[in-house]
Amino acid sequence: MNKIIKVRIFNIINTVQYDTDDIDLKADDFIMVDTCHSLELARVVTVDGFKDEGQNDENYKPLMAVARKATDKDIEEVCLRKEKEALTEGKKIVEQLKIEMKIILAKYNPAKGNFLIFFSAKEKVNFRNLVGKLGRCLRARVELRQVGPRDEAKLLGGIGKCGLTLCCRAFLKEFCPVSIKMAKQQGLSLNPTKISGICGRLLCCLTYENQEYAMVLKKMPKLRQLVKTSFGEGKVTGLNLLEETVKVKLIDSEVYHQLTIDQLDW
């Protein structure tokens, strides 16, 4: 005797009864079922009881049997398909409603059968109509979440100026505040195109060694400061923070010297 189970096939609101066909199943298991059109992913809702395999009632209609338990690959393929569908339909509806927003990414939760859709917008937008239309189109609960430029880059991923995967995508768990002062301390060009990431914000990596740069700066003279050297008095014209050396131009002379901070008096 096989168990009768109730399953919910994704995008179908009502539950459907299936025969387990001797497959050991319990509530919330993911399975593959035949819908007469194709194999579809479904979730076991309840295990109702048993049916009599020898039932010969002329009105009795045999239940369709569960094909198999769903694999991780089955679930992943269904999620990718549904997420692609949500993105396509979401962009269409946004265009129809003429909402000033950009749909970035859709995430499908197979356990709950709902969608989480990320979007970006320059200003606060009213997306109530979008949620309603998209929910009816996808036949699922839809939640929209607005994100900023840094989070958008983290969600989409990409290659940074260094030629490696974006830090926020690879390992950064949270964003740290980044300021233009950090770029100044490290002697970097203040050209926005050179110190900004693909998100348009200051590079996160400016924070990685900023504390060390700040410590070195405390030990060194400032630019254009007058200092005394064994060659005479001069003016600081350059700082090499990595080597902890200073470039000094002697007063009333075009002679330059690269000196360590131990060779200076100020």
Query: 42, 23 in Cβ contact below 8 A?
Result: no
- Mean pLDDT calculated for residue range 129-150: 93
How many CA within 13 A on the CB side of residue 22? 2
pLDDT digits (tens, 9 = 90+) for 158-210: 999 999 999 999 999 899 999 999 999 898 889 999 999 999 999 999 999 99
Q: What is the pLDDT of residue 113?
A: 84
Nearest-angstrom CA–CA distance, 180 and 203: 10
Q: Is 199 exposed, middle or buried (0-12, 13-18, 19+ CB in 10 A)?
A: buried
Q: What is the pTM of this model?
A: 0.74
Is pLDDT at 236 greater than 70 in this prediction? yes
**How does residue 49 score in pLDDT terms, banded at 50, 70 and 90?**
low
**How does residue 21 score in pLDDT terms, banded at 50, 70 and 90?**
confident
